[in-house]
Structure 1
Amino acid sequence: MTQQNTHVPILINNVRVFAAASTKPEPAASNLPTSNVPTLTAPTSVLIQDRKIAAIGTDNPPEGSVVIEGGGRVLIPGLTDAHVHLFATGTSLAGLTTGATGVGYYNALAAAGQMLMRGFTTVRDMAGDVTSLRQVLDAGTFPGPRIYASQAAISQTSGHGDFSHVYEDANTFTCGAHARAEQIGFLRVADGRDQVLAAVREQLKKGASQIKVMAGGGVSSAYDPLDVLQYTLDELKAAVEAATDWGTYVAAHVYNDEGIRRAIAAGIRSIEHGHLVAGPETVKLMAESGVWLSTQPFLESDHEYPNPENTEKNKQVCEGVANSFKWAREEGANIAFGTDLLLEPEKAGLQNEMLTRLSTHFDFKPGEALRIATSGNAALFRLSGERDPYKAAPLGQITEGAWADVLLVEGDPTQDLTVLGDPDKNLAVIIKDGRIYKNTLDRP
């Protein structure tokens, strides 16, 4: 196994390149024209230089290039995950809220390296103080993916992000007392237009690429049933106004139908979860409004809760997964893939399995699922506009001029997505930002 820490040119010979850059999923029809199905190129070569894809089809690499013989394997863009929590992936709830702050940073650094070695070269972090982590990873000091940071997720009192004790007064009455989750920058409780404006601007000040608000009830939180609405329309509009002034967008945590519609009316661009959408009419409204469904292929076993209330909420959410995918495909909505794994470190490795479920459980063709997890997610990330830390080059595709984030795969994931479920075995080469982080082909 090789880790190459300098940006020397890399030539990858004799590979079939995944050629797909569309952002929308195909309809769930069986008579799709061949031209709409993501394909592989004929065997070719890919030259990486100065952190980007320099040329495709060249046989004249610069002097001193590292040459990788692909042997006819499949070369795909690095995988992406549209909903992660780096500061909560490698630790439990008790560890996050009671442990020393420094431990959280070390756990996040370790989680980032593990994600990269699973093939995830770009992630969108949807709650956590990760801007400094992003800067360290971008510098190549430690291994890890590119990060689109939301910083602290913003919640109303009694909302999905309120982890204060029930006997404590609301922040607005106590003039500055904050729960531990707020102290470490994971969440921010704000009520009313003025506080929401300040909370959004605070995250932008800290380097957020996009903003996340809580617009409906949650599974893991203590005080909010799934059916409740969170934030008034005016409060949500305030968040959108503040983000728009900075050239970026707002994503909203929400499961229920009415909350989704309120978020759309406020100008929110991405619905995180959406599993309890009531029918195709709301998904059609999302499609017509250009609003993304950033969702997760959950199974009940993905999360475990210590009490029956949260367990029942988890069951309700998981029962809605199949319908939300089905209606999104039928109505032509933009679908993003994410995992939302957190607070159960032993389950972090489910990230790859959850990707494969798009094909094994939810009827996506393997190539279409792969497109969603590469160029599809990248199109959502690009909504960050002027706050996009990686706007200098295309992302999530293998084209000349794109960022050099690529994986060389044993097997053909366009025919069998499950090969990506075992990254240790089936990812022969991992390259991110033009650096080699794994290469099993250099072994004798």
Structure 2
Amino acid sequence: MPALPSFATFYPLNHHHSQGACQCGSPILSQFHERMMADISRRQFIGGAAGVMAMFAGLRAPRVLSQQPSDHNRPILLKNLRLFDGSGGPLREGVAIRIEDGRIQALLANGADSGNAEVVDCGGRVVMPGLIDAHWHTTLAGISQFEAMTADPGYVHLVAAKEAERTLMRGVTSVRDVGGPSFALKRAIDQGIVNGPRVFPAGAMISQTSGHGDFRMRHEVPRSADSPLSEQEKQGVAVIADGEAEVLRRTREQLMLGASQIKLMAGGGVASTYDPLDSTQFTERELRAAVDAAEDWGTYVAVHVYTPRGIQRSLRAGVKSIEHGQLADKESVRMMAGEGAWWSLQPFLQDEDSNVYPDAERQESQRMVAEGTVRAYEMAQHFDVKTAWGTDILFSPRNTQNQLRHLAKLTRFYDSLTTLAMATGRNGELLAMSGLRSTYQGKLGIIEPDALADLLVVDGSPEQGLDFLNDPKANLRLIMKGGRVYKNTL
């Protein structure tokens, strides 16, 4: 029987947190992945490689739902518009945007000669960069926990592909995937097999034993030196690494697979099975091993962490992106600013988008994180920390459609143009930290010459508020990624 391709090649599972609290420690993923691997083994036994490949036979490029440019080889000229360029500055008028070969060729005067370009009249609407979600989970965001446990694995993948298209149709043209093997879905999107956003994958999240990415069941402990890897590790959802040598190996493996950045778990979470919220994970030397390996490849390490102790340890080790961090104190935030690190915050506000927990312990942890969220945004501004916007949605098909609401609610802390700049130009700067490990060479989140042509035409006035984002279907009139139009209702 011929050897099968790596399961991660086809199965872009992505496990991590969801809005309101992290669910990484939930035992549900362990059961889910064990069931899927059993199904894969059964298909291989019955039909060999063809039996496994048949699971993915239905994953074809969905028909583009909207009008396409009549000639893909022609330049496009957007005119009669108001421009938000992603910098956070005031909107500009009297400017036209010429797009050619997937990039912004030039910003011209509104009456400039269109030449051979196809002219798109924006009707005085706002043109802005495509949105960037800096903390997204590509595969499991749009499926419920029950379906993840019971549905055929092929169905899970089809849901992920469809959710990727919906993500793009919400105007999110780039995502930073911070845990789980999204490599296959990224490849399918980049090759035009399915429609979706640009994906910056981290690959398997790296966890210590008993850490936030240790999804083993109790009966799998203890683990000896010659014990097999858990199913989750084999599939690339997460990997366990104890000691500098193991951290180096697991980091290098993700870089080999194509990671844009590396993700480690440096602390506990709200929904964890084993690790409490206040726990600190990985020694400074272990963290430094991952940082050194990532820096050798021209990229950086991001860590899941909430507490001051974990944040400060990570920063001393050279980590460049703090994911969550809602329990930070002033010293931790001052240190973030001093080190030039990014604070990848999510609006965990214990509101209509939050998870619901039945037990008092997790409810209390969730309350602490929600209160910390308010303080975190205040301190981020006070200490001028580079702050990213992300949503961290998992196992919530009802919530993915509200992805942009998670941005609009930030106007509680920032003026609307600053908020919009966070999800465009600022997040674009964070993505650029991947350097040559990114397969998308060009600026994102900004509208300027030679930037990648990811653009939205919207019905709304961003300088007055971002409520128009709550209904992207109605208010996003044109969606473009790489110069290709995916929606046009102008």
Is TM > 0.5 for Structure 1 vs Structure 2? yes
Q: Distance in 1 between matches of 2:153 and 2:225?
A: 27
Deviations 1:126-156 (A, max 9, x none): 1121122112212333211111100111111
**How is 1:1-400 mapped onto 2 (pairs within 5 angstroms)?**
2-4=66-68, 6=72, 8-21=74-87, 38-57=89-108, 59-63=112-116, 65-96=117-148, 100-173=152-225, 175-179=227-231, 181-278=232-329, 280-301=330-351, 302-359=354-411, 361=412, 363-391=413-441, 393-400=442-449
1:101–1:184 Cα contact (<8 Å) kept: no
Q: Distance in 1 between matches of 2:400 and 2:239?
A: 25
Q: Distance in 2 between matches of 1:170 and 1:427?
A: 53
1:214–1:252 Cα contact (<8 Å) kept: yes
Deviation at 1:383, TM superposition (A): 1.0
Amino acid at match of 1:421: N
Deviation at 1:217, TM superposition (A): 0.4
Give 4+ residue runs of structure 1 displaced > 6 Å after superposition. none
1:153–1:186 Cα contact (<8 Å) kept: yes
Amino acid at match of 1:418: D
Aligned pair in 2 of structure 1 residues 423, 172: CA closer, same or farther (>3 Å)? farther
Unaligned runs of at least 5 residues, structure 2? 1-64
Q: Distance in 1 between matches of 2:138 and 2:74?
A: 29
Secondary structure of the residue that 1:86 maps to in structure 2?
A: coil
> How many residue pairs align between the two structures?
420
Q: Distance in 1 between matches of 2:146 and 2:267?
A: 24
Secondary structure of the residue that 2:369 maps to in structure 1?
A: helix
Q: Distance in 2 between matches of 1:187 and 1:312?
A: 27
Moved more, 170-179 or 401-410: 170-179
Deviation at 1:343, TM superposition (A): 1.4
Does 1:406 find its partner at 2:470? no
1:113–1:144 Cα contact (<8 Å) kept: yes
TM-score, length of structure 2 as denominator length: 0.82
Aligned pair in 2 of structure 1 residues 407, 170: CA closer, same or farther (>3 Å)? farther
Deviations 1:387-434 (A, max 9, x none): 12212x211111011100000010111321111121011111111111
Secondary structure of the residue that 2:447 maps to in structure 1?
A: coil
Moved more, 139-148 or 75-84: 139-148
Amino acid at match of 2:257: K
Match of 2:49 in 1: none
Q: Distance in 1 between matches of 2:250 and 2:348?
A: 30
Amino acid at match of 1:414: E
Amino acid at match of 1:424: K
Match of 1:439 in 2: 488
Aligned pair in 2 of structure 1 residues 438, 38: CA closer, same or farther (>3 Å)? same
Q: Distance in 1 between matches of 2:287 and 2:333?
A: 20
Amino acid at match of 1:39: P
Instruction: Provide the identity percentage.
Output: 43
